[in-house]
Amino acid sequence: MSMKNADFYNNLVQMYYSAPINTFYNPSLAISDSQAELNMDVKPEFFHTARAIHGSVYFKCLDDSAYFASQSVEHEFFMLTSSFTTHFIRPISEGRIIAKGLIISNGKSQIIAESKIFNEQKQLLAYGSGTFVKSKHRLREISSMF
């Protein structure tokens, strides 16, 4: 990985951490070329009434990791999630979750990425895939870090 890409990935991570919603979730994020990994501790505040995390938390982890895998290869424009499909496999009620995003297709007008959520025992908990498109906003307009 070139130093330029390492700086770009670090800037994307800082942009992610600056989003106000991440104060609540407190995730950690690592980005490399065409990949992203999100780690997050499960908290009772994420639970629905049956004491497992709400589907919105699955979606956030899957979408964020797939999104940043996509954003890792687009250096000029801010990406947007155009669509995302989520598949739930098993409930999550404790521990740490790991979401791994990976680009599966990088086309001219869209990027398709998939993501999988695992627990610390490497059991698959959920998976999804999404389509990501360039917005009209340049990254340097979104954040002064670029």
Q: Residue 146 pLDDT > 70, yes or no?
A: no
Q: How far apart are CA 24 and CA 9, in angstroms?
A: 23
Element housing 114 (H / E):
strand 111-119
pLDDT at residue 145, as a whole number: 54
> What are the structural domains of the chain?
3-142 (3.10.129.10)
- Give the integer Cα–Cα distance in Å for 38 and 17: 12
Please provide the DSSP assignment of 26-59 as one string: --EEEEETTEEEEEEE--GGGB-TTSSB-HHHHH
Structure tokens given for 116: 């999988």
Q: Across residues 121-144, what is the average pLDDT?
A: 92
What whole-number percentage of the chain has pLDDT above 70?
A: 97
Cα(69)–Cα(31) distance, rounded to whole angstroms?
Answer: 7
pLDDT in tens, 74-106: 999 999 999 999 999 999 999 999 999 999 999
pTM: 0.94
